[in-house]
């Protein structure tokens, strides 16, 4: 089996995205993955690095990710005792990834401060970095930078400057179709209840279509919804109708995951109830689990 087939075995669907990302990293490129939460970005990348057998080094892009945090720093206590040397240096994630030939995975790339992005750009362009009192650190050939960002994210983010975006390939990922999402929920929950899985996926997808919702839930919500309803059914025995269990499950699994439009007066609970009503009332047969 080639790398492509082995990677595909770990990921449901996403053939095109896998091909494109594999082509980009095989060509030695650094990549920006852009898509909403829960759209397989980490899953695809973890599958690729596992097959390449290189480390995947995570960093969260936020205001605290200073160049020092990214590159590393000299331990003040040790410097006091033994003066500066390469040994007193505590490497940060960028150096770890460069030295080990790993992929530096910068989540929420657009939240990192400008000077941190510039440090990254230098490492990407030159494949080496000069560290004070340590020397020049060369990147192993498999070192890559893979950045992610959520296009709907507006709080605390800066738009990428053109000098940054001009240096990256960009792969946009969206939500998968219903069949793929059902397959993901089946794999992640181990539930052998096709109707429950189908309902969890359909109701979760409906949160992405609803006019009052700015950003709906990803497949993570469907995974939790299916697991919670399964447990609830066991706790409550046969006393509650199936559709009622699903409503309670939706409030628990989805209410914190949907983000309403600012102008909307409704609550997440009301919006979820209306989604639930149109799903079960328009097709009463659904209220009888298969």
Ligand X SMILES: Nc1ncnc2c1ncn2[C@@H]1O[C@H](COP(=O)(O)OP(=O)(O)OP(=O)(O)O)[C@@H](O)[C@H]1O
List interacting residues with ligand X (CB under 6 A). Answer: 11-14, 37-43, 184, 188, 219-220
Cα distance between residue 58 and residue 186, in whole Å: 27
Judged by beta carbon, residue 38 or residue 92, the one nearer ligand X is: 38
What is the spatial distance between Cα 187 and Cα 203, in angstroms, rounded to a whole number?
Answer: 18
CB count, 10 Å around CB of 8?
18
Residue (13 or 101) nearer to ligand X, CB: 13
Pick from 13, 42, 255, 274 the residue near Mg ion by CB under 5 A: 42
Report what 205 binds from Mg ion, ligand X, none; CB cut-off 5-8 Å by kind.
none
* CB of residue 219 to ligand X, shortest distance in Å: 5
116 binds, among Mg ion, ligand X, none (CB under 5 to 8 A by kind): none
Choose between 40 and 189: whose C-beta lies nearer to Mg ion: 40
Closest CB 175 distance from ligand X, rounded Å: 9
Q: Which does 12 bind (CB under 5 to 8 A by kind): Mg ion, ligand X, none?
A: ligand X
Nearer to ligand X (CB atom), residue 137 or residue 200: 200
CA distances (Å), origin 60, targets 57, 64, 198, 279, 289: 10, 9, 33, 38, 42
Distance CA 155, CA 149 (A): 12
- DSSP 3-state percent helix, strand, coil across the chain (nearest 5): 50, 15, 35
The tokens for 194 are 């096709």
d(CA 66, CA 176): 35
- Binding partner of 11, given ligand X, Mg ion, none, CB within 5-8 angstroms per partner class: ligand X
Report what 198 binds from Mg ion, ligand X, none; CB cut-off 5-8 Å by kind: none
Q: Is 43 in the site for Mg ion (CB under 5 A)?
A: no
Token duo for residue 258: 């949907």
Check residue 208 and report its DSSP letter. Answer: T
Q: How many residues does the chain have?
A: 290
- Of 30 and 34, CB closest to ligand X: 34
């Amino acid at each position: 089996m080639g790398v492509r087939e082995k990677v595909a075995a770990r990921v449901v669907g996403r053939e095109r995205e896998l091909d494109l990302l594999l082509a980009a990293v095989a060509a030695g490129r650094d990549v920006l993955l852009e898509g909403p939460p829960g759209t397989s970005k980490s899953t695809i990348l973890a599958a690729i690095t596992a097959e390449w057998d290189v480390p995947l080094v995570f960093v969260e892009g936020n205001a605290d990710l200073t160049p020092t945090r990214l590159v590393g720093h000299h331990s003040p206590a040790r410097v006091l005792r033994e003066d500066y040397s390469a040994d007193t240096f505590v490497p940060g994630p960028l150096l770890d990834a460069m030295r080990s030939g790993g992929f530096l995975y910068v989540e929420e790339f657009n939240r990192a401060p400008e000077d941190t992005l510039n440090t990254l750009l230098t490492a990407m362009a030159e494949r080496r970095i000069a560290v004070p009192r340590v020397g020049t650190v060369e990147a192993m050939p498999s070192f890559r930078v893979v950045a992610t960002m959520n296009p709907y994210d507006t709080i605390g983010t800066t738009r990428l400057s053109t000098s940054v975006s001009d240096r990256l390939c960009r792969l946009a990922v969206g939500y998968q179709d219903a069949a793929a999402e059902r397959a993901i929920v089946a794999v992640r929950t181990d539930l052998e209840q096709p109707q429950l899985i189908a309902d969890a996926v359909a109701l979760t997808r409906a949160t992405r279509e609803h006019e009052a919702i700015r950003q709906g839930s990803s497949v993570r919500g469907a995974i939790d919804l299916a697991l919670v309803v399964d447990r609830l059914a066991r706790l409550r025995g046969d006393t509650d109708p199936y559709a009622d269990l699903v409503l309670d499950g939706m409030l628990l699994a989805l209410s914190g995951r949907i983000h309403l439009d600012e102008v909307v007066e409704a609550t997440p609970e009301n919006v979820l109830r209306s989604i639930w009503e149109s799903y079960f009332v328009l097709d009463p047969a659904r209220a009888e689990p298969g």
